[in-house]
């Protein structure tokens, strides 16, 4: 093996987030605050995928996300797949579920909303899981997943 090649495939324990649309990868890195943790993180993007053309992959060693943490990804990449690795084996594959409530992550599209006018953290409640409709907890404006703006 060439000395310069990095070992990225083998993860002893941790989480692999696969099938991320390439355009969403770095947003997901930021949502999960992977820039702030000390675990070994491997990020691959624009990798070839039979299923989706180009995809991104994130591997985080020795980290197992809480459901409410990982489900935030569903806002951006509902098709992403979460693989839990233990002792080099995939022990669990999890489908993402839209969270019932999203706090502080999204910006309300309504410029007159109190969360855009006063120092108030945004909060959205999931109203319709099937359609992916959220409602601002404060101004009650409805929001579709296609319209969301990250803070």
Partner 1 sequence: MKTNGLVSISDCSKEDLLRIVELAAQFEQHPMPHLLEGKLVATLFFEPSTRTRLSFETAVQRLGGRVIGFSDAATSSSSKGETLHDTIKMVSNYVDLIVMRHPIEGAARYASEVAGVPVINAGDGANQHPTQTMLDLYSIKKTQGRLEDLTISMVGDLKYGRTVHSLLQALQYFNPTFNFVAPPELRMPEQYRLFCEEKGLKYREETDLNAVLKTSDILYMTRVQQERFTDPVEFEKVRNTYTLRNDMLAGTKDNLRILHPLPRITEIAEDVDNNPKAYYFEQARNGVFARQAVICSILGLV
Which of 23/120 has CB closer to partner 1? 120
The span from the first CA to the last CA of the chain, in angstroms, equals: 43
Which of 71/138 has CB closer to partner 1? 138
Rg (CA), the chain: 17
Cα angle 53, 55, 97; round to 5: 115
Which of 61/139 has CB closer to partner 1? 139
Which of 117/151 has CB closer to partner 1? 117
Rounded Cα gap, residues 78 and 28, in angstroms: 12
Stretch that binds partner 1, among 21-29, 36-44, 92-100, 138-146 (CB under 8 A): 138-146
Stretch that binds partner 1, among 1-9, 26-34, 37-45, 135-143 (CB under 8 A): 135-143
Residue 110 near partner 1 by CB under 8 A: yes
Residue 142, CB half-sphere, CA atoms under 13 Å: how many? Answer: 6
> What mask of x and - would describe binding to partner 1 in positions 39 to 78, judged by CB under 8 A?
----------------------------------------
Tokens of 115: 């969360």
75: CB partners within 8 A, 6+ apart: 98, 99, 102, 105, 106, 145, 148
Residue 120 near partner 1 by CB under 8 A: yes
Which of 10/112 has CB closer to partner 1? 112
Q: Which of 43, 65, 137, 145 binds partner 1 (CB under 8 A)?
A: 137
Residue 142 near partner 1 by CB under 8 A: yes
What phi, psi does 27 have (nearest 5°)? -65, -40
The alpha carbon of 59 is separated from its chain's Cα centroid by a whole number of angstroms, namely 13
Which residues sit at the interface with partner 1, rule CB under 8 A? 110, 112-115, 117-120, 136-142
């Amino acid at each position: 093996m060439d000395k310069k090649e990095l070992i990225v495939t083998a993860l002893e324990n941790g989480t692999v987030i696969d099938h991320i649309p390439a355009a969403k990868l770095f947003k997901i890195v930021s949502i999960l605050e992977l820039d702030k943790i000390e675990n070994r993180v491997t990020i691959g993007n624009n990798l070839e995928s039979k299923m989706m053309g180009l995809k991104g992959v994130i591997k985080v060693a020795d980290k197992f996300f809480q459901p409410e943490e990982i489900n935030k990804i569903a806002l951006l990449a509902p098709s992403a797949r979460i693989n839990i690795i233990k002792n080099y084996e995939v022990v669990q594959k999890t489908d993402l579920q839209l969270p019932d409530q999203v706090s502080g992550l999204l910006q309300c599209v309504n410029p007159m909303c109190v969360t855009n006018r006063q120092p108030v953290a945004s909060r959205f409640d999931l109203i319709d899981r099937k359609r992916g409709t959220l409602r601002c907890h404060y101004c009650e404006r409805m929001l579709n997943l296609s319209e969301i703006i990250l803070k």
